[in-house]
Amino acid sequence: MQAPSSRSHLELFELLMRELGEHMVKAPKPLHETSKDWSDAPSSPPVAILEPRSSEEVSQVLAFCNRLQIPLAIQGGMTGLVGGANSMPGEAVLSLAKLNRIEHIDTTAGTALIQAGVTLEQLQNAAEEHDWFFPLDLGARGSCQLGGNAATNAGGNRVIRYGMMRNAILGLEVILADGTRLERLDTVIKNNAGFDLKQLFIGSEGQLGVITQLVIQLQPRPSARCTALCALDGLTKSTQLLKLLKGVLPELSAFEVMWSDYVHESARLQGLALPFQAQYPIYVLIETLGHDLSLSVSAVENALQQALLDEVILDAVLAQSEQQAQKLWSYREGVSELLTALKPCAAFDVSVSLPKMQALVLDLQEELTNRFKEQHHLFFGHLGDGNLHLISGPYPDPEDLHALEELTYQRIAAYGGSISAEHGIGVVKREFLHHSKSKEEIDLMAQLKKLLDPKSILNPQRVIPS
Ligand code: FAD
Ligand code: ZN
C-alpha cells in the first residue's frame, strides 16, 4: 500500500469520495470558514471535509482512514482555545456537525441522550422546554458542541456548584481509530462493572477516540436566579468573600472574579457603562440558583450586608430583573470581544491553589507589565475553582508570544499550578506539558495513544509531546 504522504490532496480527496460518497465528503471551503478555532495556532487547508450523519458512518470513516493511514482533525464547534481541532498539512477534517440530534429526553429521570454535535445551547434550551436544567455554561454556548465539551472536559461558570462536564456524563459512545464502536450509553449513576472506560475519553481531546453519543444527567430547573456584582479592594478580600458566601448561600452557583482592567476593556469594547461610579481593583460576579425568589433575594441581600459590615466588599449591586442580570453578566462575557480585539494573543487558563493565587497574580502582573509594556494583560477567572484566566496581547511578533508563554508557564509551575485548568493542551501548550505532567505520566499517555490509535490518525501531533 502507498504511504499516505506520497499521495497528493487531489488523490486523497478522490479516494475518500470513491469510498465514502458525496453525501459524506465535501471539498474544503476557504480556510477561515472551516479549519480554525479561536486560538492563533496555525492551520492548513484540509484534504477534504468528512461529514458523517450517524455513529455507523463515523465508524465507516475511521475504518477507511485507518486502513489508508489518512490523518484526521476531529472538529466539534471549533470554539477551542488551544488549536487542537485546527487541520494540519495532509489531514482530512472529521466534522461532527451533522450528528446534531437530541435523541431522547427522559423527563422522569432527567437524562438526555444526544448526538455529539448537539450544541451546548441546543441542549440547555431543550432541557428547559422539558422543565429540566443543564447547568454547564460558557461564553461559547451557541457554537460549542457537547462532544467537544466532553473531549475537553469543559468547565465554565457553574463548576463551583455542579462540577465540570465529566460530572454530567452518565454514558458515552466512542468510535475507536479502527472503527470499533464502544457503546456504553448508561443512564444510571452507579456502574462499577469493570473499568469505567468513559473516563478515559473525557478530556482526552480526540486523542483516543471519537465521541459520537452522550447520556447527560440534567438537574432540576431552578426558578429563581439572583445575580450581583461586588466591588472589592483586593484579591485577598475575594477569598474571604468566597468563604463567607459558601457558608451562608448553599445556592451559590457562580463566583467569577475580574480584575479592573478586564472590566474596563470588556465594557469599552461592548459600549457598556462602568458598573459603579468609582473604580475598584477587583470585581466579583456572583449568582445563586434556587426555587423561591424572595427567599433567594433576602439570603443574598443578607450575605452582602454582612460582607459590607465586615469590610470584605466596598460596594455591591443586586440585579432587580433578568435584564439587569444579563447586563452584569455582560462584563464577564466580553471574552470573545477581547480575544478578537487583542489578536494575536495568548489566552491562559491555569489553576493554582487559592492561598497562592494572590502572590502568583502579583508576580505575573509585575513581570508582564515590565517585559511586555505595549500589551494588555487582563486577568479574570472562576476563582471559586482556583481557575485563573489571562488574556494577553496583541503580540505581532510570534517570538514575543512564545517568550510570554514560556515565562508564564514557568511561573505557574513554580507555584505548583496546572498549565490547563479547563481548555486542554492541543498544539498551543503541547511543548509546555512537562510543566504539569511528569515524564512517567507523559510516557503512559503516549502508550495509551499507541494502544488505541497505533497508526496515529486521530489528531496527531497534538497534546502528547513528541
Ligand atoms: P472544538 O474546538 O471543535 O474541539 C476541541 C477539542 O476537542 C479538539 O481537540 C477536538 O479535536 C476535540 N473534539 C471535538 N469534538 C470531539 C468529539 N466529538 N470526539 C472527540 N474529540 C472531539 N472552555 C471552558 O472549559 N470553560 C469556559 O468557560 C470557556 N469559555 C469560553 C469562552 C469563549 C468565548 C470561547 C471561544 C471558548 C471558551 N472555552 C471555554 C473553550 C471552548 O469553548 C471549550 O473548550 C469547548 O468545550 C470546545 O467545544 P467545541 O465543540 O467547540 O470543540
Ligand atoms: Zn473559563
**Letter for the amino acid at 108?**
T
Residue 458 lies in a domain: no
- From residue 319, give the alpha-carbon distance in Å to each of 66, 229, 329: 54, 8, 10
pLDDT at 32 over 70: no
In a domain, 299, yes or no: yes
75, 138, 200, 429: residue to mutate for ligand 1 pocket, most atoms within 8 A of CB: 138
Q: Same domain for 116 and 213?
A: yes
pLDDT at 29 over 90: no
Which residue range forms the structural domain that includes residue 292? 224-335
Q: Using CA positions, which residue lies closest to atom 47 of ligand 1?
A: 149
pLDDT in tens, 198-253: 999 999 999 999 999 999 999 999 999 999 999 999 999 999 999 999 999 999 99
Contact present, 285 and 229 (Cβ < 8 Å): yes
Confidence grade of residue 384 (pLDDT, cut at 50, 70, 90): confident
> For the segment 397-441, what is each residue's pLDDT rounded down to a tens digit?
999 999 999 999 999 999 999 999 999 999 999 999 999 999 999
Per-residue exposure over 79-108, b if at least 16 CB sit within 10 Å of its own CB, e if not: bbbbbbbbbbebbbbbbbbbbbebeebeee
- Three cell numbers at 402? 512564545
Half-sphere exposure of 421 (CA within 13 A, CB side): 26
| 12 within ligand 1 shell (Cβ under 6 A) | no
Left if phi > 0, otherwise alpha if psi is -120 to 50, otherwise beta: which for 134? beta
Last residue of a domain, one of 408, 424, 440: 424
Segment 326-350 shows an average pLDDT of 95
**pLDDT of amino acid 188:** 87
- For residue 395, tell me if it sits in a domain: yes
- Is residue 352 within 8 A of residue 412, CB to CB? The reply is yes
Give the pLDDT score at 418: 95
Q: Is residue 43 lining ligand 1, measured as CB closer than 6 Å?
A: no
Tell me the CA–centroid distance for residue 421 and ligand 2, in Å. Answer: 8
* pLDDT, tens digit (0-9, with 9 covering 90-100), for 97-121: 999 999 999 999 999 999 999 999 9
Q: Which atom of ligand 1 is nearest to the CA of 84?
A: 9
Cβ atoms of 387 and 163 within 8 Å: the answer is no
Identify which has the larger pLDDT, 87 or 3. 87
Q: How far apart are CA 252 and CA 222, in angstroms?
A: 12
pLDDT at position 399: 95
| pLDDT at residue 33 tops 90 | no
Q: Are residues 86 and 62 in the same domain?
A: yes
Mean pLDDT to the nearest integer, 55-72:
98
pLDDT (0 to 100) of residue 108: 97
- Say if residue 76's pLDDT is above 90: yes
Mean pLDDT score across all residues of the chain: 95
Q: Which of 335, 350, 377 is the last residue of a domain?
A: 335
User: Is the minimum distance from the CB of 38 to ligand 1 under 6 angstroms?
Assistant: yes
C-alpha span between 404 and 188 (Å, rounded): 46
The pLDDT score that the predictor gives to residue 35 is: 77
The whole-number pLDDT of residue 30 equals 67
- Residue 34, pLDDT above cutoff 80: no
Residue 398 CA to ligand 1 center (angstroms) comes to 24
The finding on whether 37 has its CB within 6 A of some atom of ligand 1 is yes
Please give the Cα distance from 428 to 405 (Å, whole number).
9
CATH number at residue 304: 3.30.70.2190
Banded model confidence at residue 351, pLDDT cuts 50, 70, 90: very high
Residue 210 near ligand 1, beta carbon < 6 Å: yes
Higher pLDDT, 154 or 32: 154
Residue 286, pLDDT score: 97
The full DSSP string for 75-115 is: ESSS--SSSTTS--TTPEEEE-TT---EEEEETTTTEEEEE
Confidence of residue 138 (pLDDT cuts 50, 70, 90): very high
Domain count, the chain: 4
**Using a CB cutoff of 8 Å and minimum separation of 24, what contacts does 12-16 make?**
12/47, 12/48, 12/70, 12/90, 12/92, 13/47, 13/48, 15/68, 16/47, 16/48, 16/50, 16/64, 16/70, 16/92
Give domain status of residue 90, yes or no. yes
For 180-216, b/e burial (b = at least 16 CB within 10 A) is eeeebebbeeeeeeeeeebeebbbbbbbbbbbbbbbb
Tell whether ligand 1 has an atom less than 6 A from the beta carbon of residue 165. no
- The partner residues of 102 in beta bridges, in order of sequence, read 114
Cell of residue 147, nine digits: 462532544
Residues 246 and 315 in one domain: yes
| 76 close to 117: Cβ distance less than 8 angstroms | yes
Q: How confident is the model at residue 2 (pLDDT cuts 50, 70, 90)?
A: low
- What is the pLDDT at residue 189? 87
What 8-state DSSP symbol labels residue 162?
Answer: H
Q: Measured in Å, how far apart are the chain's first and last C-alpha atoms?
A: 26
Share of the chain above pLDDT 70, in %: 98
